[in-house]
Structure 1
Amino acid sequence: FLTSAHVTLPSTLYSQKRMGNFVVKQNKIIYTYIKNRAHGTEENMGGYAAHSLAIMTDAVHLLTDFGSIVMSLVSLWISSRPHTKTMTFGWHRAEILGVLLSVLSIWVVTGLLVVTAVHRIIDGHYEIQSQIMLITSVCAVVVNILHSHSHGFPYSQLQTGEEQRGHSHGNASVKAAFVHVVGDLLQSLGVLLAAIIIHVWPDYKIADPICTFLFSVLVLGSTFTVSKDVFRILMEGSPHHMNFNAVRESLLSMEGVKATHSLHMWGLNMSHALLSVHVAVEEDADTQTVLMKATKLLRSNFGFSTITIQVERYSPEMLHCSQCQDLTD
């Protein structure tokens, strides 16, 4: 005896919610685009004029954010397209591919700057225009302070307030944005310190490529969490803000539920979590009641956007079924 259901938001409500989230995300990304475009261009021009790799590395951080924003806009537009018979889950993964391309571009450009810094240290034939470097770095520090309240990696800005509400993922996004802000400010202060050293003691121009090494580590470190999340989603792992054991124990705590198996959780992108599970119930349990309560619990407590539940009568043979055993950590 089997009872199953595939539960999603009503189509009209889902479409309205998706369009509303699209507009909110789009506005956030466009605002960040304008801000990063202006500041990144100013730093790139200053770094080129001063022959400073440290400033260029700082600018790369901003311009790769700018590239991320462009990719986010494109992928966000693609992901808003409706489901088709071919793309049955829609185009939500386009956001993840955009973030992946952004991270890869950061690694490539940062690697090129590191190689250039190594060549500068080896041959020593380069000049730094310390006055231009000093002026540019002061401007960068001022801009970072003025905009620190709203600056963050575009990846974290793809989360709307509604999507962040009710679980720890929103807090994680806020923390990630805060770390990004502090990293930007420290990087700009480091460039300013290097500019002061080179301006006062020109013989210590090696401070510029050394700063490039340090900032490259910061830039690559800032992509670690993002790349880990992208890898998890592409491998269809459980969303990082979802606890497998907590979901399973919540289902087992329901009246009439004896066991669960084939529990799978994955994400289409950063905000759309999906679940499928088999729930084994007692002989006298009302399967429709269990189905409705389980669906409500999973949606309200964990925020799954698509839920597929198959209800079946509990059988002692399940204890020896290889497909019904608990998963390893």
Structure 2
Amino acid sequence: MTDAAHLLTDLGSMCVSIFSLWISTRPPTKTMNFGWHRSEILGALASVLSIWIVTGVLVYLAAARIINNDYDIDGHVMLITSGCAVGVNVIMAYILHQSTTFHGHSHGSGYEKIGDSPTSGLLMHIGPHGNTSVRAAFIHVIGDLLQSIGVMVAAIMIYFKPQYKIADPVCTFLFSIFVLGTTTTILKDVFWVLMEGAPHSISHGAVKEVLLTVEGVRSVHSLKLWALTLSQNVVSVHVAIDGSHDPDTVLREATEVLQSKFDFFMSTIQVEKYLEDMGDCPQCQDPMG
């Protein structure tokens, strides 16, 4: 019961991942200024929620089966279904793993410039960190593969020992907990990106320290870091400079140092003249925490 239902959600998750990967390669528009990159985040969210809904239904049905003492299970059918599930999950895991590793070896950074054609853009979009929705599907498939192996063991037990049919709902409980656990990390990442959280790999202090090394920069304020996706980071900052330095030169050097140190997907730097009272400006203070 669990294996058959999860096999269907595996297929659905894979389709959602492929669709979100395709839509994320679309170029920016006047209304979608950052492009469609976050479709991968929404795809991951849809995959995880579908998994949780199906798991909740299966847990309910398993509990009802135990309460009502309903164990009408065909061990032969269960064995065939679990065997097919193992095979399908192995194939899907291989496809998803190959897509991420192939493109990860082909490109140095997590995200490269999208190609001119839809096909090249689709292929170049996956880096070593992987598209979030593809990663969600891959983790889920691995979890289901282990679950399918467990169900196969239960099916063999039921096939040879029909009196142990309670193994089916018990497997549902055990592996439902396992599947939920494997998707929790993905859900945390999705929540972090949608809440405009700062990138985990880049600290606020490190960026400020690097900018202060640029010749002519006296202070840095209004520094904002956020993750457009898990592998695409964006920065917006104001730098105050001495009046004796050329703003264009400072802007160029600040942009270059940010790209060389942190490889931001997009950076916006506002150059302004340094004033002594900036230290007392509430808007110029570093964020708490």
**1:76-87 matched pairs, under 5 angstroms:** 76-87=21-32
Task: Give the aligned residue type for 1:55.
Answer: D
Distance 1:73 1:183, change over 3 A: closer
Distance 1:184 1:109, change over 3 A: closer
1:164 aligns to what SS in structure 2? coil
Task: Give the aligned residue type for 1:297.
Answer: V
1:54 corresponds to 2:14:
no
**Paired residue total:** 269
Structure 1: any 5+ residue segments left out of the alignment?
Answer: 1-52
Task: Give the aligned residue type for 1:203.
Answer: Q
Match of 1:108 among 53, 76, 93: 53
Contact 1:151–1:181 (CA under 8 A) maintained in structure 2: no
Moved over 6 A (4+): none
Deviation larger for 276-285 or 305-314: 276-285
Equivalent residue for 2:162?
202
Match of 1:117 among 50, 57, 62: 62
Contact 2:45–2:190 (CA under 8 A) maintained in structure 1: yes
* TM-score with structure 2 setting the length: 0.78
2:44 aligns to what SS in structure 1? helix
1:212 corresponds to 2:166:
no
2:51 aligns to what SS in structure 1? helix
Residues 33-77 of structure 1, C-alpha deviations (whole Å, 9 max, x = no match): xxxxxxxxxxxxxxxxxxxx2323xx51x4333323323343344
Equivalent residue for 1:266?
226
In structure 1, distance between residues paired with 2:147 and 2:280: 58
Distance 1:150 1:214, change over 3 A: same
Instruction: Using CA pairs under 8 Å that are at least 6 residues apart, name the structure with larger relative contact order, 1 or 2.
Output: 1
Task: Give the aligned residue type for 1:118.
Answer: A
Equivalent residue for 1:32?
none
Q: How far is 1:113 from its partner?
A: 0.7
Contact 1:229–1:240 (CA under 8 A) maintained in structure 2: no
Equivalent residue for 1:12?
none
* TM-score with structure 1 setting the length: 0.70
1:63 corresponds to 2:11:
no
Equivalent residue for 2:110?
164
Match of 1:136 among 56, 81, 85: 81
State the identity %.
53
In structure 2, distance between residues paired with 1:190 and 1:257: 61
Q: How far is 1:145 from its partner?
A: 5.3
Cα-Cα RMSD: 3.3
Deviation larger for 264-273 or 214-223: 264-273
2:214 aligns to what SS in structure 1? coil
Residues 154-190 of structure 1, C-alpha deviations (whole Å, 9 max, x = no match): 9x79x86534279xx946989x688656534422221
Match of 2:152 among 176, 189, 192: 192
Contact 1:263–1:277 (CA under 8 A) maintained in structure 2: yes
Structure 2: any 5+ residue segments left out of the alignment?
Answer: 113-126
Deviation larger for 234-243 or 221-230: 234-243
